[in-house]
């Protein structure tokens, strides 16, 4: 059975990312997530929200990022939706390739895929919805 833990709207500005860590810490304390899983969640979700704010909405304060947390037995679903132009995550260059090692960005999708139990991207010209799943045990 699904239970929604929290839904918030973020203004598309860099300072909005500061709302994520306290929310995730509250989640950890509420349902008893162990530290290793919590740190993976913190990194992956911070990357996803940053991507939505910066790359999706291009820091356009007239656009919002919707962030939702749903709880399932033994699993947490995070949904991050932006109002950008959409993108194909399969076309994001691998940050481990030598030509990408020194780039300032391009690691978010890779980190999300490697830290989460599962991730899904739904992208259209009206925005991107990323669903990120973590096991809680």
Give me the pLDDT at residue 108, please: 82
User: Which two structure tokens, joined as six digits, stand for 117?
Assistant: 């139990």
**Residues whose CB falls within 8 Å of the CB of residue 30, separated by 6 or more in sequence, listed in order:** 5
DSSP H stretches of helix in the chain: 20-31, 35-50, 108-115
Give me the pLDDT at residue 38, please: 97
CATH of domain 3-135: 3.30.565.10
Give me the pLDDT at residue 107, please: 78
**Number of other residues whose CB lies within 10 A of the CB of residue 122:** 12
pLDDT tens track, the chain, 137 positions: 889 999 999 999 999 999 999 999 999 999 999 999 999 999 999 999 999 999 999 999 999 999 999 999 999 999 999 999 988 777 776 767 777 566 666 678 889 999 999 999 999 889 999 999 999 87
User: Which two structure tokens, joined as six digits, stand for 29?
Assistant: 């304390």
Give me the pLDDT at residue 75, please: 96
**Domain parsing of the chain, residue ranges:** 3-135
Give me the pLDDT at residue 66, please: 98
Give me the pLDDT at residue 103, please: 67
Helix (H/G/I), strand (E/B), else coil: 3: strand
Q: pTM to 2 decimals? A: 0.91
């Amino acid at each position: 059975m699904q239970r929604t833990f929290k839904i918030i709207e973020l203004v598309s500005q860099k300072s909005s990312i500061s709302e994520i860590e306290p929310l995730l810490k509250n989640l950890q304390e509420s349902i008893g997530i162990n530290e290793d899983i919590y740190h993976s969640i913190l990194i992956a979700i911070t990357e996803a929200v940053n991507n939505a704010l910066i790359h999706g909405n291009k820091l356009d304060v007239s656009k919002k990022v919707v962030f939702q947390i749903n709880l399932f037995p033994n699993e947490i679903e995070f949904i991050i939706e932006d109002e950008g132009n959409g993108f194909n995550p399969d076309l994001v260059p691998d940050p481990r390739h030598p030509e990408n090692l020194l780039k300032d960005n391009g690691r978010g999708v890779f980190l999300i895929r490697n830290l989460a139990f599962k991730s899904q991207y739904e992208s259209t010209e009206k925005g991107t919805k990323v669903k990120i799943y973590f096991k809680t045990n």
